[in-house]
Amino acid sequence: MKFNPLARSISLGTLAMAMSLPLVAQAAFIEDSKASLELRNFYMNRDFRDAPSTSQSKAEEWAQGFLLKYESGFTEGTVGVGVDAYGFTGFKLDSGGGTSGTGLLLPKDNKGDVPSSYGELGAAAKFRISETTLRAGTLMPKLPVVSSGDARLLPQTFQGVQLTSLDVNNLTLNAGQLERDNQRNSTNNEAMAISLHNGKRDTSEYTKSNPNVSNKFNFFSGSYNWNDQLTTGYHYGQLADVYKQHIVNGVYTLPIAEGQSLRADLRYAKTSEDGNSGIDNNAISGMLTYKLGYNSFGLGYQKMSGDTGYAYLLLSDPHLVNYVQIRDFAATDEKSWQARYDYNFAGLGIPGLNLMTRYVNGSNIYMGANKSRGNEWERDTDISYVFQDGALKNLGVKWRNSTVRSDLSGQMDENRLIVSYTIPLL
């Protein structure tokens, strides 16, 4: 486990500053503190259906994660001071015999072996004036242009600064700069790379020789809640010398009757090169969801245009409605649609049990000059249950099943079983 030097110096300096203040000023710092420990058990199985006999046909791994999070309050005074600290570690329970490599559940060392454990420590200093907060150190932003991925054992983290302002009613502003990231199966903070599937080249795998990497990601995000039904936003991101991206979005919910509503989620992104990366993409996507009691029915559409596919930070979550369990349906010229159904079994007297199933179909993928256009589809099913009472109260169990048939990534069947339990410590 490695403790990032920047995070260490920031957290220790902030803690020393807070402790040097009078006890009365420290009261809120301590009383408003929150801490929790999440136990996350993760099993993952991938069956590569079209793998040749000379290649790996199956990947299977099982691991246990521990996610410790601490968030202090703020000291009293004009400038409130606080600190957030994180400790994440994962332990291998099963991986080997030719079945490692499920897709960033567990790391590999320089020899290709999976270590018995891995982890990271991080911290962020925070300073608040009125309703504006500055954080510096380890960050996990959740914004349309940069969203920390948390779909494996441990979350993705970034090193940088982030300013969040809520001083204007109904307006949320975020701005900042990121310098490094720590991937979900890594203990190292490295330069940020891009995920870009465009049919001409694939830079989704990070290597130090990859030209599409940078040590600087600048971002700005603004969202305004016009009323309880409508929210709109503008968001900007720039991976220095690689790409720049503008995103506008809007979400509108129309109440129809008791227990019925119609929700429209519309998104547009313009991405272009910042340097000589050649990135050029326009992406439109939208989701229309009709809620009827405990049922939800959704229809989505997504379209890519331009010389390349959609660009976003490697392994972060892109702001696309058809980004699903495995595929993002964001290759060059790709058009895709989605049909989705959700059901909350509280309607049948089983609170805590939920079902989600969806099908996404993509077509018109640019596969190269003088080649036929490609196609792909993905079918996902999630079943989750959170115990509501008894000795197992708040224990969550989720099974995720996916089937993919793609001219880009091949044929694959996948299962994930996730058991999680969060223990409040403060």
Residue 219 has pLDDT above 50, yes or no: yes
Contact by Cβ (8 Å): 119, 90: yes
Exposure of 289 in the CB half-sphere (CA atoms within 13 A): 19
User: C-alpha angle with apex 265: 147 to 405, nearest 5 degrees?
Assistant: 70
pLDDT value at position 379? 98
Q: In whole angstroms, give the CA distance from residue 123 to residue 4.
A: 9
Ordered structural domains, the chain, with CATH: 2-424 (2.40.160.10)
Q: In whole angstroms, give the CA distance from residue 311 to residue 56.
A: 29
Q: Are strands 117-129 and 2-3 parallel, antiparallel or unpaired?
A: parallel
pLDDT value at position 211? 61
pLDDT value at position 105? 79
How many Å is the Cα radius of gyration of the chain?
22
SS3 state at 183: coil
Q: Which amino acid is at 152?
A: R
Question: In this predicted model, what pLDDT tens digit does every residue of 145-166 receive, in sequence order?
Answer: 999 988 889 999 999 999 999 9
Q: In percent, how much of the chain has pLDDT > 70? A: 85
| Strand partners for 116 | none
Q: Are strands 34-48 and 2-3 parallel, antiparallel or unpaired?
A: unpaired
Question: In this predicted model, what pLDDT tens digit does every residue of 78-94 receive, in sequence order?
Answer: 899 999 999 999 999 98
Question: In this predicted model, what pLDDT tens digit does every residue of 11-35 receive, in sequence order?
Answer: 445 555 555 555 545 666 778 889 9
Q: In whole angstroms, give the CA distance from residue 217 to residue 350.
A: 45
Residue 258's CB is within 10 A of a number of other CB atoms, namely 7
Q: In whole angstroms, give the CA distance from residue 127 to residue 163.
A: 9
Instruction: Mean pLDDT check: name the lowest of 18-22, 314-318, 330-334, 377-381.
Output: 18-22
Average pLDDT over residues 36-42: 95
User: C-alpha angle with apex 137: 133 to 140, nearest 5 degrees?
Assistant: 75
Instruction: Mean pLDDT check: name the lowest of 45-54, 115-124, 224-233, 275-284.
Output: 45-54
Contacts of 130 (CB under 8 A, 6+ apart): 167
Alpha carbon distances (Å) from 1 to 26, 181, 190, 206: 31, 16, 16, 22
pLDDT value at position 255? 95
pLDDT value at position 2? 44
More confident residue, 370 or 421: 421
Contact by Cβ (8 Å): 285, 301: yes
Q: In whole angstroms, give the CA distance from residue 425 to residue 70.
A: 9
Contact by Cβ (8 Å): 208, 260: no
pLDDT value at position 191? 85
Mean pLDDT of the chain: 87
pLDDT value at position 1? 44
Residue 204 has pLDDT above 50, yes or no: no
More confident residue, 227 or 191: 227
Instruction: Mean pLDDT check: name the lowest of 49-53, 358-362, 379-383.
Output: 49-53
Residue 10 has pLDDT above 50, yes or no: no
pLDDT value at position 96? 64
pLDDT value at position 207? 47
76 pLDDT tier (thresholds 50, 70, 90): confident
Q: In whole angstroms, give the CA distance from residue 33 to residue 140.
A: 19
Q: In whole angstroms, give the CA distance from residue 45 to residue 258.
A: 42
Residue 265 has pLDDT above 90, yes or no: yes
Residue 370 has pLDDT above 50, yes or no: yes
Q: Are strands 396-406 and 243-257 parallel, antiparallel or unpaired?
A: unpaired
- 248, burial (CB in 10 Å: exposed 0-12, middle 13-18, buried 19+): middle
Contacts of 414 (CB under 8 A, 6+ apart): 44, 45, 46, 47, 325, 326, 400, 401, 402, 403, 404
Q: What is the pTM of this model?
A: 0.89
397-401 contacts, C-beta under 8 A, 24 or more apart: 400/325
